[in-house]
Chains A and B, each alone.
Chain A
Amino acid sequence: MADALFANNVVKYFKKSKKEITALKGVSLRIKEGEIYGLLGPNGSGKSTFIRIASTLLIPDRGSVSVFGHDVDREASTVQKLINRVSVEASFFRKLSAIENLSFSAGLYGISKKEAIEKIYYLSDRFGLERKRLKDPLEDFSRGMQQKVAIVRAFMTEPKMLLLDEPTTGLDPRAKRDVQSLIRDVKKNMSTTMLLTTHDMDEAEKLCDYVAIIHLGMIVAVGKPAELKNQITGKVENPTFEDVFLEYTGMTMEDAQYQEVETA
C-alpha cells in the first residue's frame, strides 16, 4: 500500500512572550492508504500542531510532511484538494443554516450547487441528519448534531485523507457513539485514510489500525493497539490500552483530559 501521509523528522517551535516552545521535536510518521491511524497524547504533546501542519495551516520549521506524495508546504493547493478535517470545535458560521454552511464549503471546493445539494441530502440521510433541520441555524444544533454536520462537510468533498482532531471530545455518550459508528462505517465502505487524535483509549483501540503515542513533542511508541499492549504485558497484568498510555507518557488519560479542559 502507498503512503497516504509521510512525516519526516518534523520540528515546529513557537515564540510566545519571548519564550520559544518546541511543539514537535522530530516527529516521523508513516500512514498507509486506507488506514485509521491514531495519534494519542496528553495536552501540549503536539498532536494538534501535527494535524495543523498536515492541514496546510502551519509550516514546519524543519523536516517535511507529504500527503500522497505531495509536500504540504510547497504543494499546498494539491494537498488541500486531497484532504479535509473534522476538529474538536465544529467551526461553522453559527447564524447560517446547516445547508448554507455546507453549500459555502462545497463552493470552496468547486462543487456545483446542484451536486452539492444532492451530496448534502445523501450524506445527511446516511449520517442521520434530518433533512428538515438543515434549514435551521447551526447555533440551534446540539454539539453532537454540529459534529455530524462537520462530518457531512468533510465527506462532501470526497477527501482521500480525513484528519479527525478529537472529533468526539466533549460529546455526550450517545453523540459520541454515533460519531464513532460513522467512522467505522466510513472505514468499512469508503477507502478514506484517517488520522485520528483522541483522548478516548477505548475509541483508539477499537477504531485504529495503527497508533502512535506522542509525548512532549516526540513519538514515544508506535504500533498496532494489540502490539502495544503486548509490549507491557511483563510490567502490567492484563494491560488495558489506558495502561499503555500511562506507561509511555507517565500520565493517565484522565490527567491528560483534565489538563486539556484547564487550558482550553
Chain B
Amino acid sequence: MSSQQLVKELRASWAFIERNFNFSKRYWKWELVFFVYTMANSVTMGFIGKGVEAFSGTKLDTSYLILYMLLGSILWGYLSILFEIVAETVAWERWEETIEYTFMAPVRRATHLLSTCGYAILYGILRSGMILLVVSIFFDLNLQKANLLSAAGILAVSSFSFVGLGIVAAVLPLISPEKGVQVVHIFQALLLMFSGVYYEVDVLPGWMQQVGKLSPATYALRGMRASVLEGRKMTEMWSSIWPLILLGALLLPSGLMFFGKMEKWAKRRGVLKRSG
C-alpha cells in the first residue's frame, strides 16, 4: 500500500470512528437508557454476591463474592458492547438506509470493520469505566490484592479475540437481512451461558464445559478474576492467555476473509441493499 493510500485509509478509519461517536451524541437518550440498564444489572449482581452469605447460612468472604459477581457483570458488559457493535455494523447501516453508499465507497473492508472495532473498544472502555465508578459508590470494593496491569493486559488480549468473533458474527446480518440480527443475539446469549460469566465453568455439565472452552469470554473472565481477585501476574496466567491469543489470531483474519467472501456472495444474491 502506498503512503498516499495509507493516509486515505486512515482518514476513512477516522470517519467511521467519528461517525459512531456522533451517533452516541445524537442518540444520547438511548445511551442513557443502556447505561442505566447495565449499571442496574451490575449493581444487582453485586448485591447477589453480598446476599449469598445470608441465604447460605455460612460465613463467607462477602467482599470476594461481590467483586467476583461485579467482574463478571462489568467484563461481560464490555465484551458484549464489543461484540454487538461489530456484529451489528451491517445491520445498523441497513436500518439507517445508508448501506449501499458505505459499501460502494472506495474503502477497504478491513478498514471499515477494524475501525468499527476501534470505536467499540474506546466506547466499551469508556462505558465500563463509568459503570465501575457508579458501582464503587454502592460497594466497598477491596482492590488491595488486584494486579491492575495484568487486568489491563487481559482486557487487551480478550478485546482482540472478541472483535474477531464480532466480525465473524457480522456476516450474519450481511447474508440474512431478516434473520441475521436475531441469530447474533441468540449467539450472544449462548456465549453468556457457556462462558461462566457469573459462575465457574466447572459447575456446568461436562459437555457444556467443552463448549465453553471454545469461547474467548471463558478465558477472559478467568484471567480477569485471577488478576483482580488473586493479584496474579500475566506470566502466571498463561493458561488463560494463550487460548485468547490463539482465538484472536484465528478469528480476526479468518473473520475478515469470511466477510469478504460473503460480501461477494451478497452482491451476487442481491441482498446488499437497504431493504434486504
Contact = CB atoms under 8 A, between A and B. Distances in A.
Interface of A: 12, 14-15, 49, 52, 55-59, 61, 77, 80-81, 83, 85, 87, 89, 91-96, 100, 103-112, 137, 153
Contact of B105 (A93, A103, A105, A112): A105
B19 A104 contact: yes
A110 B9 contact: yes
A57 B9 CA distance: 20
Contacts of B16: 107
Contacts of A110: 7-9, 11-12, 106-107
Main secondary structure of the interface of B (DSSP, over half): helix
Interface in B251-268: 264, 267-268
Most buried by A among B26, B104, B272: B104
A104 B264 CA distance: 24
B233 interface: no
A95 B23 contact: yes
Contacts of A104: 15, 18-19
A112 B11 contact: yes
User: Chain A CB within 10 Å — which of B9, B98, B106, B269 has the most?
Assistant: B106
A254 B264 CA distance: 37
A14 B102 CA distance: 23
B106 A80 contact: yes
A108 B107 contact: yes
Contacts of A55: 100, 104
B267 A59 contact: yes
Contacts of B105: 80, 105, 108-109
A96 B104 contact: no
Given A81-B106, A105-B105, A108-B102, 8 more contacts: A12-B270, A57-B267, A91-B101, A93-B22, A95-B26, A96-B23, A107-B16, A109-B105
Nearest to B270: A14
A107 B9 contact: no
Given A59-B264, A81-B106, A91-B98, A111 B22 contact: no
Contacts of B22: 93, 96, 100
B267 A58 contact: yes
B106 A109 contact: yes
Contacts of A52: 100, 270, 273
A104 B26 CA distance: 15
Contact of B269 (A14, A105, A111, A112): A14
Contacts of A92: 96, 98
Contacts of A87: 100
B103 interface: yes
A83 B105 CA distance: 9
A91 B103 CA distance: 13
B97 interface: yes
Contacts of A112: 11
B100 A57 contact: yes
B196 to A, nearest CB: 38
A105 B23 CA distance: 15
Contacts of A93: 19, 22-23, 96, 98
Contacts of B264: 59
B11 A111 contact: yes
B27 interface: yes
Interface in B1-41: 7-9, 11-12, 14-16, 18-19, 22-23, 26-27
B185 interface: no
